[in-house]
């Protein structure tokens, strides 16, 4: 069971200049609550130095203008109070298109926020320079470069570290490889979907509709240029229609609302739905991530997805049963059950991006090679406790018995836990 978290109605959203790891763990990671880091967290990033330029006049061009005053005052009327109000001495910066042109050849996903397609926007992929050229001409006001895998495209390493470095409290990231590790760059299409480190660029008014993040992960998101407005829904409070489908645009909903200033970093907890609106021309950097304390939530998300996949191909089960009858494998498993379990796990891997083998390989790899130094992650016995909680759930499931590859990974995990308990 993943507990539902709510901020008490009279509480303030916390904003930290500095957040020691233990406080992050106890006050936010485990209770699963949002907060912001002040611009001090990003002050030294190359991206903030190079991709932003000061506003010369109040309105440089239509494309670079913020949302109109009247719209802004309606939107900002019921923003949730903060523990410390951010200073707004400086107007937000403007994007420096010439600095971004250095990445002009990279092929990036581009959403057209004027064209809804089901629960998303119509998207295509183009070289970044094509979008920059449109924006330089004052065109493409509804275009939103989303999920640009810059770090993966750069192959990780030093060049990426020169652009930005994730805040320390987010370095225990079990989803992406350690930030400095080399990863394979790609040239013709945007980088692999198995990378969760993104850049977003879009004019005022472009937005991301209501959603929650993949795998029950957290996200952190930093504004390099401009301000964003966030609508945050604690798990279970997200608006749905009469068929249980998520609403697309919830800007009128009464919920936690946060204006994220330039330079600030927001932490979005696991399973919290959110909608995000660019109030100015915005450039942001965000990562999805999870770590050992999130495992029960990630497990629950994968289990729910597993159930949906099994339901989706229920007809295949009877075909397999008819074909294999009562046959039994040498290891004692019923042949049809084993094949069915592999079938569903395969579909899960295609649909969700990973199945049970992927999940346990991830746990094993992160226990074997922790992504960060001991002071920036939970202690070994706490990590072991979080892992044991999901082990217990998994061992009570049919897949534990039916998927031998995952079973071998689980044995590795148990061995590593014994070692870590003994350490």
Q: To the nearest whole angstrom, how small is the minimum distance from the Cβ of residue 168 to ligand AKG?
A: 19
CB of 282 to ligand AKG, least distance (A): 7
Rounded Cα distance between 290 and 303, Å, is: 16
In three state form, how does the secondary structure of 114-131 look? EEEECCEEEEEEEEHHHH
- Give me the least distance between CB of 200 and ligand AKG, in Å please: 5
Which CB atom, from 208 or from 294, has the smaller least distance to ligand AKG?
A: 208
Q: Does 37 bind ligand AKG (CB under 6 A)?
A: no
> For residue 61, which of 171, 158, 138 has the smallest C-alpha distance?
138
Segment contacting ligand AKG by CB under 6 A, of 54-62, 213-221, 299-307, 331-339: 213-221
> Given candidates 147, 172, 173, 213, which one binds ligand AKG under the rule CB under 6 A?
213
Cβ-based nearer residue to Fe ion, 135 or 207: 207
Can you say how many angstroms the Cα of residue 184 is from the centroid of all Cα atoms in its chain?
20
* First and final C-alpha spacing in the chain: 30
Q: Exposure string (b/e) for 377-404, b if CB count within 10 Å is 16 or more?
A: bbebeebbebbeebbeebeeeebbebbe
Q: How many residues bind ligand AKG (CB under 6 A)?
A: 11
223 binds, among ligand AKG, Fe ion, none (CB under 5 to 8 A by kind): none
Q: Rule CB under 6 A: choose which of 270, 284, 291, 294 binds ligand AKG.
A: 284
> What's the CA dihedral at 179, 180, 185, 190 to 10 degrees?
20
Q: Is 276 in the site for ligand AKG (CB under 6 A)?
A: yes
Q: Is residue 219 within the footprint of ligand AKG (CB under 6 A)?
A: yes
Q: Please tell me whether residue 286 binds ligand AKG under the rule CB under 6 A.
A: yes
Q: Is 175 among the residues that bind ligand AKG (CB under 6 A)? A: no
Shortest distance, position 203 Cβ to ligand AKG, whole Å? 12
Nearest to 55 by CA among 87, 90, 93: 93
Distance, CA of 381 to CA of 421 (rounded, Å):
6
Residues that bind ligand AKG (CB under 6 A): 200, 208, 213, 219, 221, 228, 268, 274, 276, 284, 286
């Amino acid at each position: 069971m993943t507990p539902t978290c709510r901020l008490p109605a009279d509480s303030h959203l916390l904003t930290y200049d500095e957040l020691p790891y233990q406080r992050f763990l106890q006050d936010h990671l485990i209770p699963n609550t949002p907060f912001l880091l002040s611009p001090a967290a990003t002050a030294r990033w190359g991206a903030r130095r190079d991709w932003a330029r000061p506003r010369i006049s109040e309105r440089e061009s239509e494309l670079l203008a913020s949302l109109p005053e009247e719209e802004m005052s309606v939107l900002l009327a019921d923003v949730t109070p903060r523990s410390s109000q951010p200073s707004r001495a400086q107007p937000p910066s403007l994007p420096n298109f010439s600095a971004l042109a250095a990445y002009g050849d990279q092929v990036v996903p581009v959403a057209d926020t004027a064209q809804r397609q089901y629960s998303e926007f119509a998207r295509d992929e183009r070289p970044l320079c094509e979008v920059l050229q449109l924006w330089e001409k004052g065109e493409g006001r509804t275009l939103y470069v989303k999920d640009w895998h810059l770090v993966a495209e750069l192959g990780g390493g030093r060049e990426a570290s020169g652009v930005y470095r994730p805040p320390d409290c987010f370095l225990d990231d079990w989803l992406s490889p350690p930030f400095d590790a080399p990863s394979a760059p790609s040239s013709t299409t945007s980088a692999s979907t198995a990378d969760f480190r993104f850049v977003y660029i879009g004019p005022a008014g472009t937005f991301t509709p209501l959603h929650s993040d993949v795998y029950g992960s957290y996200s952190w998101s930093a504004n390099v240029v401009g301000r964003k407005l966030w609508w945050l829904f604690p798990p279970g409070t997200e608006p749905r229609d009469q068929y249980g489908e998520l609403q697309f645009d919830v800007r009128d909903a009464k919920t936690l609302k946060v204006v994220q200033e330039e330079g600030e970093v927001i932490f979005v907890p696991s399973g919290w739905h959110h909608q995000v609106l660019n109030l100015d021309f915005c450039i942001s950097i965000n990562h999805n991530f999870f770590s050992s304390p999130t495992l029960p939530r990630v497990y629950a998300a994968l289990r729910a997805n597993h159930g949906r996949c099994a339901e989706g191909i229920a007809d295949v089960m009877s075909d397999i049963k008819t074909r294999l009858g009562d046959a039994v494998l040498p290891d004692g498993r019923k042949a049809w059950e084993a094949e069915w379990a592999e079938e569903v796990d395969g579909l899960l891997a295609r649909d969700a991006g990973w199945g049970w083998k992927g999940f346990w390989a991830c746990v094993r790899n992160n226990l074997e090679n922790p992504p960060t130094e001991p002071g920036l992650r939970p202690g070994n016995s706490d990590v072991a406790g979080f892992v044991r909680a999901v082990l217990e759930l998994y061992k009570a499931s049919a897949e534990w018995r039916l998927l031998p590859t995952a079973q071998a990974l689980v044995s590795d995990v148990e061995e590593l836990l014994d070692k870590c308990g003994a350490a």
